[in-house]
Amino acid sequence: MKIGFIFVLYKTPKSEIQRLKKEVKLLGLKDYEVYFIDNTYNNIGYSGGVNIGIKKGLKDNVDIFIVCNPDISFKLHPWGVGGLEASRNFDVWGFSMKQDNKIYYGGEIDKWRMSGGLISIKPTTKFAPVDFPSGSLMFIKRKVIESIGLWDESYFLYYDEVDYCVRAKKAGFKVGIDSKQLYEHFEVSKYNPDKEFYLFKSRLKFLAKYGTTKQKIREIIRIPKTIYEEIIKRPFYLNFFSLNVSSLLNKVLHFFLFILLIRYFKPEEYAIYTLAWTHIGLLSPLLDFGTTSYGLVYLTNQKNNKFSTLFSFRVILSILTFVLTLGLAIAFKYPPKTLSAIAFTSIAIFANMLSGSLLIFSSIANKSYIVSVVSMIFQIILVVTLSFSIIFTKNLSNVFLFTFLLYGLYGLFNYFYLKLQKINLNFKFEPSSWFTIAKKSIIFLLISLLAGFYSKVDVLLLNFLKGPREVGLYSAGYRFLDALMFMVVAYNVSSMPVFSRLFQEKKKIIFMSKLKKDFILLITLGGGAALAINLLAPFFLPLILKGEYLSSIKVLRVIIFALPLILLTSISLNGLYAINKAKYVIYIFTFQLIYNLSLNYLLIPIYGFIASAWITLTGEALNTILTFIIFKKFTNENFS
């Protein structure tokens, strides 16, 4: 009896091929052939590769075909001739499979949804009938192939073995497993970012092919639930899109608030609102001190005691940031109204420290969507309250008073929510541990400070060189770009832990694949949004920006094209963080700060706020080019 092993390869290392040859030889079979079908470049799918091997085996008069994944091992139980005993009971069969430290005994088809799943309950007999054995190791008699033909190549990946077993059963053949024989499946495919897509697509094809009318109708009815189930299988997309939804709602709400502000207050008054938040943002990187990036990169597998130390450090930083922010406001000699606005708004420092801590904790657990829900509820309450205050009191001071009260409540909520997660948030005075964190996160702090300074220097220079009116007009146009920056935040929070994990595990192919897919996603979202807004701005913006604010349209039509550039820069920045080359980001942002500071200082007195718009756009273009050049240079080197 001649045996034919069919291994379908995809980017399989030569060392693995040699291992498989050795393990097959050690089985002690007398008459066998081994067919290695390399699918790396032929793009015909797993079933197509199997069929090539079957055709070769038929020519070589093979009696039993063994379809194998290359990521299996026979070392656990070298079955030899004993593995063929099942041929007396079955025409198609498999073995017990060890995968992720769990043993599975073939698979069964869920008659409710026509979906295939592995069986973890051990059968009571050695030879047990099943709906299908795992496709990672499947024995097929020659007579089955001669009767029902080859595998269905319309399945690119997954469900192809399930389909073949259904066809075999319909033709009267017996399908089962030998539960006493065991092999190990490493399941390299679980790192395939497209796995869930192919599983979903193939399952629907299987349902369409074999499902009854009743089963198909039932599947249509449960589409919303199916979509939800598919999304939660993909933590990156779940977190990315949930954060996008939350940030989008946040931006929409604050955009509505922005419209009310420019309707009820003059540019000079709106400038106070802008300057207050700009000033708070100046030292916000000090509040974080790079601890968010540190947590996402270095605490991916850490326990709560490490998080507690990080939290205590963030408390100290928030107090320091609060004191320095007020001190800097006094040093800048702002007018009393602006100084008062900054004082009330400073409560956001503590609230953001607590919400940021929740973001770190939930992101480590791949549950960033929790932050999304909390943030959405708070932003709705905040904007509704401030809107009523603007409409009914028409007093800017009341806006800042309500801001103070609501941000205080928001901070308390985040604190008590973290306590509910049974995290130890007791303050720990651990200077040595803080110093360790600071050493690793200082680079993220410098990056954040530089990024914050270069993005805010235009507003500060406009205020000192041209006055509050120019600040109000420029900020009104810039506000539209800011409204879309939620995409950048959501992308960074969702992708940074993924890039870091892939780099640590040295999964270069998946790492680069994610980069390419992210590039297409972000250029489509960012570029499409920027182009649409630029073209439609002259038609819809006069409905929003009236009176003196009409000149802000010119700012928007220029600065909106910074959006796709910022998104693309985020890809290479996350890549540089992951491969531990963050210091080069400092060089880039230092250059950017000098570029923005010098050109704004020279050109604002001549061209006013429109100069700041063009300087921002060209600066972001330089950022994108420089970061991609540097990232490309170091990628291959750091994956070696």
DSSP string, 257-313: HHHHHHHHS-HHHHHHHHHHHHHHHHTHHHHHTTHHHHHHHH-TT--HHHHHHHHHH
- For 215, the token pair is 């089963």
Question: Which residue, among 37, 35, 34, 41, has the nearest Cα to 9 in the 3D structure?
Answer: 37
Q: Look up the domain containing 61 and give its range.
A: 3-188
For 206-214, which contacts have Cβ atoms below 8 Å and span 24 or more sequence positions? 206/114, 206/115, 206/116, 206/155, 206/159, 206/162, 206/163, 207/113, 207/114, 207/115, 209/163, 210/114, 210/163, 210/166, 211/114
Q: Above 70 in pLDDT, residue 563? A: yes
What pLDDT, on a 0 to 100 scale, did the predictor assign at position 52? Answer: 94
Per residue in 493-543, pLDDT (tens digit) is 677 777 777 777 777 778 788 888 888 989 998 999 999 999 998 888 888
CA–CA separation, 364 vs 301, rounded Å?
Answer: 8
DSSP 8-state code for residue 85 = G
CA–CA separation, 345 vs 326, rounded Å?
Answer: 10
What pLDDT, on a 0 to 100 scale, did the predictor assign at position 602? Answer: 94
Residues 128 and 255 in one domain: no
In the chain, the number of structural domains is 2
What pLDDT, on a 0 to 100 scale, did the predictor assign at position 40? Answer: 85
DSSP annotation string for 192-258: -TTHHHHHHHHHHHHHHHH--HHHHHHHHHTHHHHHHHHHHT-HHHHHHHHHHHHHHHHHHHHHHHH
What pLDDT, on a 0 to 100 scale, did the predictor assign at position 236? Answer: 55
Per residue in 594-615, pLDDT (tens digit) is 999 999 999 999 999 999 999 9
Last residue of a domain, one of 158, 188, 218: 188
DSSP annotation string for 461-491: HHHHHT-HHHHHHHHHHHHHHHHTTHHHHHH
Q: Above 70 in pLDDT, residue 625? A: yes
Residues 44 and 136 in one domain: yes
What pLDDT, on a 0 to 100 scale, did the predictor assign at position 302? Answer: 45
Residues 412 and 328 in one domain: yes
Residues 254 and 165 in one domain: no
Does residue 214 lie in a domain region? no
Composition of the chain by helix, strand, coil, percent to 5: 70, 10, 20
Among 271-275, 477-481, 559-563, the minimum mean pLDDT is found in: 477-481
Q: Is 56 exposed, middle or buried (0-12, 13-18, 19+ CB in 10 A)?
A: middle
Residues 427 and 324 in one domain: yes
Place of tokens 């009318």: 213
- For 235, the token pair is 């933590």
CATH number assigned to the domain comprising residue 102: 3.90.550.10
Q: Above 70 in pLDDT, residue 638? A: no
What pLDDT, on a 0 to 100 scale, did the predictor assign at position 376? Answer: 87
Last residue of a domain, one of 188, 223, 250: 188
Residues 285 and 432 in one domain: yes
Last residue of a domain, one of 131, 166, 188: 188
What pLDDT, on a 0 to 100 scale, did the predictor assign at position 483? Answer: 78
For 141-145, which contacts have Cβ atoms below 8 Å and span 24 or more sequence positions? 141/63, 141/64, 141/65, 141/87, 141/91, 141/92, 141/173, 142/58, 142/62, 142/63, 142/64, 142/65, 143/91, 144/91, 144/92, 144/168, 144/171, 144/173, 145/54, 145/58, 145/65
Residues 243 and 150 in one domain: no
Per residue in 449-469, pLDDT (tens digit) is 787 777 788 888 888 898 888
Residues 7 and 148 in one domain: yes
Helix ranges, 466-608 (H): 468-483, 486-504, 508-540, 552-559, 562-578, 583-607
Residues 162 and 243 in one domain: no
Q: At 363, which helix (H) or strand (E)? A: helix 347-364
Does residue 572 lie in a domain region? yes
**Whole-number Cα distances in Å, 127 to 74, 85, 88, 176:** 19, 9, 10, 7
Is residue 624 within 8 Å of residue 482, measured between CB atoms? Answer: no
Q: Can you tell me whether residue 32 is helix, strand or coil?
A: strand
Does residue 548 lie in a domain region? yes
Residue bearing the bigger pLDDT, 384 or 78:
384
Q: Strands 64-68 and 32-38, how do they pair?
A: unpaired
Residue bearing the bigger pLDDT, 42 or 305:
42
What pLDDT, on a 0 to 100 scale, did the predictor assign at position 614? Answer: 95
Per residue in 317-368, pLDDT (tens digit) is 899 999 999 999 999 888 999 999 999 999 999 999 998 888 887 777 667 6
Per residue in 198-235, pLDDT (tens digit) is 888 888 889 889 888 888 888 888 777 776 666 656 55
- Residue 302 CB neighbour total at 10 angstroms: 13
Does residue 197 lie in a domain region? no
Per residue in 381-410, pLDDT (tens digit) is 999 999 999 999 999 999 999 999 999 999
Residues 245 and 174 in one domain: no
Residues 265 and 174 in one domain: no
Does residue 213 lie in a domain region? no
Give φ, ψ of 99 to 5 degrees: -145, 125
CA–CA separation, 502 vs 612, rounded Å?
Answer: 39
Does residue 224 lie in a domain region? no
Place of tokens 């900020």: 475
Q: Above 60 in pLDDT, residue 553? A: yes
CA–CA separation, 412 vs 511, rounded Å?
Answer: 39
Question: Which residue, among 423, 574, 425, has the nearest Cα to 501 in the 3D structure?
Answer: 574
Residues 245 and 96 in one domain: no
228-232, 485-489, 624-628 — which one is most confidently predicted on average? 624-628
